Amino acid sequence: MSSSKLQLPADDSVLLLVTHSNLATFSSDIRVSKQTSVEALKEKLWRKTGTSVASMRLKLLDDAGAMIADLDHDDATLASYSPYSGFRLHIIDLDPSSLTSGGWLEDTSLVEKYKISDEAYDKLDTNFRKFKEKMVSKNPTPDDKEQPDNDMEELCVNIKVGERCEVEPGAKRGAIKFVGRAESLGRGFWVGVQYDEPLGKHDGMVKGIRFFECPQGHGAIVRPEKVKVNFPF
């Protein structure tokens, strides 16, 4: 008893790189059957690039960039030009008024930017400037330059070097190692703490200035409002 086998047609397609005369940064791959006509190929490329079929001229180049053929017969099949995967189809757009000419699709500096005057912008019911002002009014952020030199000094009256403390957030326990001004960090008063555990960021030296000494990773300098004192050893 004879058996029959399903015969599948061989894949005669090729994978070609596509480049364009007016689009320096454009490159794309297209897989196409060798039995495709040049005209049908142009239809596919028109959808990819916007160059019309009537204005399109195709060149076939090998993988080293050497010229193989002009695809100048619309009725001819791609197979008649002996292409191989890895070859390149280069599109030449012959239309001087084409959408792709002049760099319009690639150089955004050629696109006229929409501009609006400050007066017209301020008249808009909503804009980013108004939104930002509204958010700042709800959540004012103090400017460090406006902080007085004695800022938070009153909070330091009961904070003494050597005392036990707890620092928020996180209820981190430690000992006071420094109380005073630290101009390199900002105006006002600061408190240096040596944590019991390595929860800090340094060894008491910040921005090249030694404020106190402690093991590496145990040191922190915080605002006095975050410090609570009189905790037991």
Residue 167's beta-bridge partner residues? 172, 227
Q: How far apart are CA 215 and CA 213, in angstroms?
A: 7
Give the closest residue to 93 by CA, choosing from 31, 28, 24.
24
pLDDT the model gives residue 1: 46
- pLDDT tens digits, one per residue of 126-176: 767 677 777 666 655 454 455 556 668 888 988 999 999 999 988 999 999
Q: What contacts 72, CB < 8 A, 6 or more positions away?
A: 38, 57
Q: How far apart are CA 71 and CA 213, in angstroms?
A: 80
Strands 88-93 and 13-20: parallel
Strands 56-61 and 67-70: antiparallel
Q: How far apart are CA 19 and CA 170, in angstroms?
A: 60
pLDDT the model gives residue 136: 60
Could you tell me if 95 and 46 are in contact, meaning their C-beta atoms sit under 8 angstroms apart? no
74: number of Cβ within 10 Å: 13
* Per-residue model confidence as pLDDT tens for the chain (233 residues): 444 555 555 678 999 999 998 887 777 899 999 999 999 999 999 888 888 899 999 999 998 899 999 999 999 999 999 999 999 999 999 888 776 666 555 555 555 666 777 777 777 777 676 777 776 666 554 544 555 566 688 889 889 999 999 999 889 999 999 999 988 888 899 999 999 999 999 999 999 999 999 999 999 999 999 999 976 55
H/E stretch holding 135: helix 128-138
**Is this structure's pTM higher than 0.75?**
no
